[in-house]
């Protein structure tokens, strides 16, 4: 029984190790995409700054020629200062994201980092929700842990049932005893030592302790069984939610793609109007901010989609991108 307990402990430790590896993969991926988003935000902020500087130069020329009021130049200067401040803030945010990423993966804190991520067109992976749930219920290591808990409690029940039961033991000993000044002669005339003993433990009165302990242990086993059933239900719910999120993000990517295209066209048209003097710098700044926001939304939707695919891999222990089971990590 002790050997079985140790075997279950080793198996449980291996499961914990594999779960930690899955969690680490998830955390590294999340930090990676945080650095990627910080880079993207900085690139967009620098693009905005470049456009704002160009716009400010255009306004300054128009004010000099008397084609527009000074208030437009003041607004352009304000927009330029805001753009510079945004770039600075995004640079700091990027360095902070890099520091956390370096720390987590064990890199030198001063090592240069620039991440590259292929999150372009959304793939056409087809995911069957019921199939994913089936993979999860067959493979999830947490369920095996719950089974190990039940097996351990069943072994404890055997021990509990043995309390206050009839018990007997027999002991037999035989030995030689010798005394002599010379160590080599101590057993020249040895004295034999014989011993035998028989003992019995007979419970005379059972006041209900044994029955109460057995009842309590059965309750623990029932609790462990319910815990495993709850874990199965939770796995099904989690995988179903992830599958729905994947389809939602897939649709959101297509929507954001169209939104980004529309925002780009709106900005180009407003920029032409601005050059012709039909639009103020404040209005142009609004269109530019809208385009930047749509670029960020598009990238975030793509990252969310990739993260949900990873979450599905962890939840079902099946890699739908590679179409293979996660059997050894």
Give residue-wise pLDDT tens across range 5-50. Answer: 788 788 778 878 877 888 888 899 889 888 988 988 898 889 888 8
The closest alpha carbon to 2, from 159, 233, 225, 205, belongs to 159
Element (H, E) at 200: strand 191-201
Q: What is the pLDDT of residues 140-179, one digit of tens each?
A: 777 788 888 888 888 888 888 877 777 788 888 888 888 8
Domain boundaries, the chain: 2-165+203-325, 166-202
User: What's the predicted TM-score (pTM) here?
Assistant: 0.65
Q: Single out the residue of 23, 37, 21, 32 nearest to residue 101, CA to CA.
A: 32
Q: Which residues 6+ apart lie within 8 Å of 315 measured at CB?
A: 132, 136, 140, 235, 238, 239, 242
Q: Is 312 exposed, middle or buried (0-12, 13-18, 19+ CB in 10 A)?
A: buried
Q: Which helix (H) or strand (E) holds 174?
A: strand 167-177
Looking at the domain that runs over 2-165+203-325, which CATH code has it been given? 1.20.1600.10
């Amino acid at each position: 029984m002790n050997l079985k307990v140790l075997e279950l402990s080793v198996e449980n430790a291996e499961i914990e190790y594999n779960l930690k590896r899955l969690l680490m993969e998830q955390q590294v991926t999340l930090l990676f995409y945080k650095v990627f988003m910080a880079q993207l935000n900085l690139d967009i902020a620098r693009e905005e700054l470049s456009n704002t500087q160009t716009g400010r130069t255009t306004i300054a020329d128009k004010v000099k020629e008397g084609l527009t009021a000074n208030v437009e130049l003041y607004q352009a200067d304000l927009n330029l200062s805001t753009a510079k401040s945004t770039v600075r803030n995004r640079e700091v945010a990027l360095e902070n994201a890099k520091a956390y990423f370096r720390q987590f993966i064990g890199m030198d804190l001063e090592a240069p980092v620039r991440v590259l991520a292929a999150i372009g067109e959304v793939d056409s992976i087809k995911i069957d929700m019921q199939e994913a749930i089936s993979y999860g219920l067959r493979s999830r290591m947490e369920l095996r842990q719950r089974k190990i808990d039940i097996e351990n409690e069943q072994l404890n029940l055997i021990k509990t049932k043995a309390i206050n039961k009839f018990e007997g033991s027999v002991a037999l000993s035989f030995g030689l005893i010798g005394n002599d000044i010379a160590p080599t002669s101590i057993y020249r005339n040895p004295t034999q030592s014989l011993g035998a003993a028989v003992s019995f433990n007979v419970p005379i009165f059972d006041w209900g302790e044994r029955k109460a302990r057995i009842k309590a242990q059965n309750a623990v086993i029932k609790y462990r069984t319910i815990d495993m059933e709850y874990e199965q239900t939770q796995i099904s719910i989690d995988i179903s939610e992830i599958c729905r999120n994947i389809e939602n993000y897939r649709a959101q990517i297509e929507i954001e793609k169209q939104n980004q295209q529309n925002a780009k066209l709106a900005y180009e048209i407003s920029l032409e109007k601005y050059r012709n003097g039909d639009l103020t710098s404040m209005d142009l700044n609004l269109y530019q901010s809208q385009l930047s926001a749509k670029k960020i939304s598009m990238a975030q939707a793509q990252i969310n989609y990739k993260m949900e695919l990873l979450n599905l891999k962890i939840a079902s222990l099946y890699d739908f991108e590679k179409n293979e089971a996660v059997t050894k990590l």
